[in-house]
Amino acid sequence: MISNTILELLHQYGYLIFYFAFSLGPFGIPIPNEITIISGAILSHTGVINSWITYFCILSGLLTAITFAYFAGKMFGPKIKHRFQHHKHFVKAERILNQYGNWAMCIGLFIPLVRYVLPVVIGLSGVHYRKFALISYSSALLWTITYFTAGTYFGGPILSTLQLFHF
């Protein structure tokens, strides 16, 4: 079960498991962010863990990941672009940025995988950090609040359904 796995990880690593799940997401952590944040919200809502600490670890992990990705794009832009120019997620992120501009920074956080690739593309496109931070961090706050709230209020039925299928 997903919640049991998260509880085991929490027992071993504490709340930092949420931080690492989000900050290391771009490097192939195989657990989707949506599942992690909803599971954290469910566990918080049931009183197993502290909701404020959980949410702070999730938000700070996501902010760390997108900031790191932005600066990677800024510093290593041409090398990254040359290496990943045919990668489907990179191409999708670049197309979204070119098509929607500032809205792409908002929308991109709501699309799995693109949320980690888009900041690289934004960094290499020359967008100033202040603009990136204002738009992307606000979007990260909105995304995490949305999913954490959904997990808090609708997580029980979701968890019951997952338990029926032995996830």
Residues 55-78: tens digit of each pLDDT:
999 999 999 999 999 999 899 877
Note the pLDDT of residue 15: 86
Task: Give the long-range contacts of residues 105-114, CB within 8 A, separation 24 or more.
Answer: 105/132, 105/135, 105/136, 105/139, 106/135, 106/138, 106/139, 106/142, 108/139, 109/66, 109/136, 109/139, 109/140, 109/142, 109/143, 110/139, 110/143, 112/32, 112/33, 112/34, 113/89, 114/89
Average pLDDT (16-32) is: 79
- What is the structure's pLDDT at 139? 93
pLDDT for 53 equals 94
pLDDT mean over 124-144: 93
Residue 161 pLDDT > 70: no
Distance between CA atoms of residues 26 and 65, nearest Å? 7
What's the pLDDT at 148? 93
Average pLDDT, the chain: 82
Q: Mean pLDDT throughout 112-128? A: 84
pLDDT, mean of residues 32-58: 87
What's the average model confidence in pLDDT over 93-121? 81
Mean pLDDT of 78-102: 77
Q: What is the pLDDT of residue 167?
A: 46
Q: What DSSP designation does 28 have?
A: T
Question: Can you give the pLDDT at residue 166?
Answer: 47
Question: Is the pTM above the cut of 0.85?
Answer: no
Statement: residue 162 has pLDDT above 80:
no
